[in-house]
Amino acid sequence: MMKKCAIIGAGITGLSAAYYLGQESPDFEIDIIEASDVPGGKIKTYRKDGYTIELGPESYLGRKKIMTELAADIGMKDDLVVNNTGQSYIYAKNKLHPIPGGAILGIPTELRPFITTRLISPIGKVRAGMDYIIKPKPMNPDVSVGAFFRRRLGNETLENLIEPLMSGIYGADIDKLSLKSTFPDFKKTEERHGSLIKGMRRNRRETKSAPKQGQFRQFKNGLQSFIERLAEVLVDKGVTIKYNHKVEAINKTSQGYEITMNGETHFYDSVIVTVPHTVFKDWFKDGPLDYFQTMKTTSVATVVMAFDESQVNNKENGTGFVIARNSDTVITACTWTDKKWSHAAPKGKTLLRAYVGRPGDTVVQDHDDAAIVKLARQDLDKMMEITGEPEFSIVTRLYNSMPQYEVGHIDKIHAIQHYVSTHYPDLVITGASFEAVGLPDCISQAQKAALKIAHR
């Protein structure tokens, strides 16, 4: 007899979990239960008048192959596009500075560009060079990304170069962000080579022969087109997607699970939970799962502004910039989207896409759309000359959307995974609150969850 599996949430994690479960075993009747009326969760693309604009996540890292493979599996290989490469900048000390050549996530691997950058003072550069003599220290059991890089390269390199690049990915406070949960390879490099810079230089030499190509991937009709195709393939394979069904509770029974949604209770043999922890924390409070009661999030908003190119005089020729947190701005980063992605805007238009929202601030909560556009515009005016009003602007708020992986996170997650597998048979909880937040990482976690359910 077919077993019934409920997958809760039709974001990228839920949809991919359904895909891999169906592929791995023909024994499941799969229902995806989704509170909203569309698939995709945080992924949303604005497609109109020749624009293809991401309102949530923007692209994915191409070296994480699973997303490209899934795209090929569902017939979207030819839709993939690669970003245009170009100079990226850091806004610090009231000025845009080119990111020094050879810096990998801010860690310098080439001497000349680091020596000549104005981002770091001479003393700061000497301090960074001490990385060659500072002995590795055991990560015992975890440290913050900030503490690790401050010790190796000094405060200035951390604050002006590394922090703006790394903390944006997680919308996090670098001095609370867990190294072990986010960038453990830097610790391994330090330990293997005795110096981070030395190790990074060696790694770089080994991979340098690869042709220079953009590292991000997208789809010519936006990330939402990938989601729509994935949902279509699932429905063709017999998966039911129950839109407008909000899960309210999950109860374990001797046979399986009772799921209450829209006031009705349904029985399932197995369950994959992919909603954010801010939602499932109300369903699971026992044992180490109580961690999710206190796990923090950051709220962010994307602010898109479209101009005629004659309105924007941008002296820099690049794809965008991030902002050092010691700068006095509301925005945290901005992409010159029409430069980075050829498909994003019609010819003759300039598309700016900025982020607002830092850990601990309430900009996203406190202001209406018009006020957020105004604040973002005031900041952008410091970095380029803009005349007149945008032809249109879009503010997209993503409340509590960035789970904060604070020091100790990944060890707690491993304890939770062990607890769930022993106390909740045939149930897996996964998604961005767990091992990693990137889109391909969500797909990998979904695949792991599906294999676990299929082979229980």
Interface with ligand FAD by CB under 6 A: which residues?
8-14, 33-36, 41-43, 56-60, 246-247, 274-276, 279, 300, 302, 398, 401-402, 431-432, 437-439, 442
Tokens standing for 136? 């590795």
Give the integer Cα–Cα distance in Å for 270 and 450.
11
Shortest CB 246 distance to ligand FAD, Å: 5
CB nearer to ligand FAD: pick between 33 and 312: 33
Residue written as tokens 């401050």? 150
Shortest CB 271 distance to ligand FAD, Å: 12
CB nearer to ligand FAD: pick between 108 and 276: 276
DSSP per-residue string spanning 304-352 = EEEEEGGGEE--S-EEEEEE-TTS--SEEEEEEHHHH-TTSS-TTEEEE
Shortest CB 40 distance to ligand FAD, Å: 7
Distance of CA 323 to the CA centre of its chain: 17
Handedness of CA 221, 356, 61, 232 (dihedral sign): negative
Give the integer Cα–Cα distance in Å for 447 and 22.
11
236's CB contacts (< 8 A; 6+ apart) are none
CB nearer to ligand FAD: pick between 200 and 442: 442
Q: What is the DSSP letter of 434?
A: T
Shortest CB 298 distance to ligand FAD, Å: 8
Q: In this structure, which amino acid lies at residue 389?
A: E
Give the integer Cα–Cα distance in Å for 29 and 452.
16
CB nearer to ligand FAD: pick between 200 and 247: 247
CB nearer to ligand FAD: pick between 195 and 274: 274
Shortest CB 432 distance to ligand FAD, Å: 3
**8, 219 Cβ separation under 8 angstroms:** no
Q: What is the DSSP letter of 40?
A: B
What 3-state DSSP class applies to 268? strand
Shortest CB 433 distance to ligand FAD, Å: 8
Nearest in space to 269 (alpha carbons), one of 281, 277, 258: 258
Shortest CB 355 distance to ligand FAD, Å: 7
CB nearer to ligand FAD: pick between 35 and 394: 35
Nearest in space to 97 (alpha carbons), one of 329, 339, 383: 383
Give the integer Cα–Cα distance in Å for 211 and 202.
18
CA angle 262–265–269, rounded 5-degree value: 125
CB nearer to ligand FAD: pick between 52 and 302: 302
CB nearer to ligand FAD: pick between 200 and 437: 437
403's CB contacts (< 8 A; 6+ apart) are 276, 277, 295, 296, 297, 432, 433, 437
What 3-state DSSP class applies to 452? helix
CB nearer to ligand FAD: pick between 275 and 428: 275
Shortest CB 366 distance to ligand FAD, Å: 18
Shortest CB 31 distance to ligand FAD, Å: 11
CB nearer to ligand FAD: pick between 6 and 92: 6
CB nearer to ligand FAD: pick between 107 and 398: 398
Nearest in space to 170 (alpha carbons), one of 149, 145, 187, 196: 145
Tokens standing for 141? 């059991």
CB nearer to ligand FAD: pick between 14 and 106: 14
Shortest CB 378 distance to ligand FAD, Å: 21
304's CB contacts (< 8 A; 6+ apart) are 46, 53, 55, 337, 351, 352, 353, 393, 394, 395, 396
Tokens standing for 358? 């830092």
Shortest CB 284 distance to ligand FAD, Å: 13
Shortest CB 163 distance to ligand FAD, Å: 18
